[in-house]
Amino acid sequence: MQPEHTAKTLFDKIWDAHVIETRADGSSLLFVDRHLVHDATSQAFDMIEDAGLTIRRPDLTLGTADHYASTGGPIDENHAERAAIVDRLAKRARQGDFTTYGIGDERQGIVHVIGPELGFTLPGTVLVCGDSHTASHGALGALAFGIGASEIAHVLATQTLWQRRPRQMRITVDGSLKRGVTAKDLVLQVIRQIGTAGGTGFAIEYAGSVVRDLSIEERLTVCNMSIEAGARFGMVEPDDVTFDYLEGRPMAPSGVQWHQALEAWRSLKSDVNAVFDKEITIDGSEIEPTVTWGTSPEQAVTISEAVPDPASEADPARREAMQAALSYMDLQPGTPVQEIAIDRVFIGSCTNSRIEDLRAAAAIAKGRKTQVPAIVVPGSGQVKAQAEAEGLDRIFTAAGFEWRQPGCSMCVAINGDIVPPGKRCASTSNRNFAGRQGVGARTHLVSPPMAAAAAITGRLTDIRTLDTAG
Amino acid sequence: MQAFHRHRGVLVPLLGTNIDTDQIVPARFLHRPRSAGYGNQLFHDLRYDGSSAERPEFVLNQSGYEDGSILVGGPNFGCGSSREHAVWALLDYGFRVVIAPSFGDIFFNNAVNNGLLTIVADDALHDVLTQATQAETGGTAEIDLVDRTVTLNGDQRFAFNIEDHHRQALLEGASEIEMTLKALDRIRAFEAGHFDDKPWAGPR
């Protein structure tokens, strides 16, 4: 057994292996193995162009069109402008000599979907992207975090980044998930429990039997929403599930390098006596299907509960936030959430647009009919092709869902796909902020099967009342 | 980036919890070039209604606050997306300082990288500033990053804490990229050893 002072967490091991130097002020210059860029990072490219700099390691940079990508919905007056933004990334890729995937390429898709599926994301690497949901990639045991435009420019120009080591939190989820409970419900419950700022300043490692039993796609959903708990980093120890997922993917190592990688990756785990600054334990068996009612991801309840009453909140700041959220959401305290009628359904986003998500939603949709306009946006061209090969597209369209092209779509609502003002959307995305899905739009965050169920019944629905039929 | 030493300005209260970056600047404006400015987009949907009329209840539309430059925010200010536009919008409007009990991590780093001073206020300082904004519309404060003090009404002085590296970066206002490129030889040496040791992590 190692002496305590050398015990390291998973995070420490990757961080320490990437420190080029540490300044007197405590910040470290980290080497970046993988940099993902997308069509909404144009100002960062402007910054390095304006400074007369070039992209130092285009071979470690990978781009894709996602934020502004049309999914084939109705064409509005800004369509051409968005198409030009998407084209600008392709132009920059040609100038800067890095690879990017544009509309129509099967490898194109949401940056946090394509990284893992191509094997660009690897355990033990430092991966950054100008998007707050970059922690997703921690699902494969990468040290991955979201950065702003100035930091993107720094990485483009130097392939490094100055960072302070965050504090570390371990969230252990033991027990096992009940029927009808998904990774989305798990992470919504984590956020509900620790709060939107509970992870601020921390890197989170998710552990415990429930997490070990999750597929890579489910781990991606959990790590993805770390930022909604305030944490820039979320990660899971890589294991055989990870290695099985990665083996044979186009950008994953192969041959001798695959075996070298496996040997290195098997040591990527927190030492038994590693000390975390904070430990949280959650009983996975207690988690229920969950839905948000407010305008912050922490404002969540189980599907069996009612909209909470601000009068019962002791903390004045929280009470005020609850009142503002109820007003924006046009909800009354005490209303059972299953009585909330919805107007739109969105199945997609970097949180929930992978093949397992679509299979789970299709299982609910099969043989039924939607009551409200509903769209399904696969996370990538590859997910779309796989879903079509499995006939999921036909299940969705037969049920009245629209089957779209890949992209971020109605999660960030800047590609033309929006929820109209005052309308209420059951959404598999990650943010229920005021105006997030469109000016005046009201968002309820749910899992993919819960979103499909809401489309079928026209209200928020307990998946467990539906999933045995059909 | 703009260096920061001292600043005197009008305090603006925006005390809500979890003011996320979508509230600070809605996503539909993010395609604008940096040079186009983001001041008019700051807090857009809180400032303006659906017909682009000012919402009278929003603080920046109230007399005495139009020229505000020191924002007193609530807990978890700037949570949410990584958009640096949130910082640009605050700066372009005229804000130089945001003082709040806590900040979103990415917003905080973005602020430092642009010369926007973000002060994590302890309960005592936040209470004093909250009371000051409630007692008087258009009250002013002087922020001194050299001394690490906030001075209210010319005589009430409060110390604040800030990490040394953030303070130094703001005082110098230097571009981190240029400084890092001076270490390029060391970066190259590290990189060579790194990929020798981990060939599987190299470019594909």
Q: Go through the domains of chain B in sequence order and give each one's CATH number.
A: 6-173 (3.20.19.10), 175-204 (no CATH)
pTM for the predicted model, two decimal places? 0.97
Q: Exposed, middle or buried by CB within 10 Å (0-12, 13-18, 19+), for B144? A: middle
The pLDDT value recorded for residue B63 is 92
The pLDDT value recorded for residue A5 is 59
Inter-chain CB proximity B50 and A421 less than 8 Å: yes
B126 touches chain A (CB under 8 A): no
CB interface of A with B, residues 327-386, below 8 Å = none
Does an H or E element contain A388, and which?
helix A381-389
A140 vs B contacts (CB less than 8 Å): none
A65 touches chain B (CB under 8 A): no
Q: Which two tokens stand for residue B129?
A: 């500033």
Read off the amino acid at residue A313: E
The mean of the pLDDT values for chain B is: 95
- Give the Cα separation of A381 and A406 in Å (integer): 6
Spatial strand order in the sheet of B140-144? B117-120, B97-100, B70-73, B6-14, B140-144, B149-152, B156-159
Domains and CATH numbers, chain A: 7-278 (3.30.499.10), 291-465 (3.30.499.10)
pLDDT digits (tens, 9 = 90+) for A407-436: 999 999 999 999 999 999 999 999 999 999
Determine if residue A281 is left, alpha or beta; phi over 0 gives left, psi from -120 to 50 gives alpha, anything else beta: beta
Inter-chain CB proximity A130 and B76 less than 8 Å: no
At B179, is the pLDDT very low, low, confident or very high (cuts 50, 70, 90)? confident
**Of A415, A330, A433, A331, residue with least CA distance to A375:** A415
CB interface of B with A, residues 139-178, below 8 Å = 163-165, 168, 175-177
- Give the Cα separation of A260 and A251 in Å (integer): 15
Smallest Cβ distance to A154: which of B106, B180, B201? Answer: B180
The pLDDT value recorded for residue A211 is 98
pLDDT digits (tens, 9 = 90+) for B40-74: 999 999 999 989 999 999 999 999 998 999 999 99
Q: Estimate to the nearest angstrom the gap between the alpha carbon of B94 and the chain centroid.
A: 11
Does an H or E element contain A14, and which?
helix A10-16
Which tops the pLDDT comparison, A33 or B139? A33
B182 touches chain A (CB under 8 A): no
CB A31 within 8 A of CB B187: yes
Inter-chain CB proximity B110 and A124 less than 8 Å: no
- Give the Cα separation of B45 and A434 in Å (integer): 9
B31 vs A contacts (CB less than 8 Å): 40, 42, 68, 81-82, 85, 414
- Give the Cα separation of A180 and A139 in Å (integer): 22
A85 touches chain B (CB under 8 A): yes
pLDDT digits (tens, 9 = 90+) for A274-317: 999 999 999 999 999 999 999 999 999 999 999 999 999 999 98
Phi, psi of A159 (to 5 degrees): 60, 25
Inter-chain CB proximity B105 and A42 less than 8 Å: no
Phi, psi of A230 (to 5 degrees): 95, -10
Which residues, other chains included, contact A161 with Cβ-Cβ below 8 Å and sequence gap of 6+? Answer: A29, A30, A32, A128, A147, A151, A154, A155
CB A353 within 8 A of CB A378: yes
Phi, psi of B86 (to 5 degrees): -60, -40
Inter-chain CB proximity A18 and B194 less than 8 Å: yes
CA distance B183 to chain A (A): 9
- The half-sphere exposure of B119 on its side-chain side, counting CA atoms within 13 A, is 25
| b/e code A355-390 from CB counts within 10 Å (16+ = b) | bbbbbbbbbbbbebebbbbbbbbbbbbbbbebbeee
3-state secondary structure at position B74: coil
Which residues, other chains included, contact A451 with Cβ-Cβ below 8 Å and sequence gap of 6+? Answer: A345, A346, A347, A361, A374, A426, A427, A428
pLDDT digits (tens, 9 = 90+) for A246-261: 999 999 999 999 999 9
Question: Dmax over Cα atoms in chain B, in whole Å?
Answer: 64
The pLDDT value recorded for residue A1 is 45
Determine if residue B168 is left, alpha or beta; phi over 0 gives left, psi from -120 to 50 gives alpha, anything else beta: alpha
Q: Which two tokens stand for residue A463?
A: 């998946």
Inter-chain CB proximity B198 and A321 less than 8 Å: no
DSSP string, A54-87: --S-GGGEEEE--TT---S----TTHHHHHHHHH
pLDDT digits (tens, 9 = 90+) for A62-121: 999 999 999 999 899 999 999 999 999 999 999 999 999 999 999 999 999 999 999 999
Determine if residue A146 is left, alpha or beta; phi over 0 gives left, psi from -120 to 50 gives alpha, anything else beta: beta
The pLDDT value recorded for residue A467 is 61
B115 touches chain A (CB under 8 A): no
Smallest Cβ distance to A230: which of B82, B105, B187? Answer: B105
A423 vs B contacts (CB less than 8 Å): none
Q: Which spans in A40-166 are helix H?
A: 42-50, 79-96, 111-118, 149-158
Q: Estimate to the nearest angstrom the gap between the alpha carbon of A459 and the chain centroid.
A: 25
The pLDDT value recorded for residue A444 is 98
Tell whether the model's pLDDT for residue A469 goes beyond 60: no
At A468, is the pLDDT very low, low, confident or very high (cuts 50, 70, 90)? low
Read off the amino acid at residue B96: R
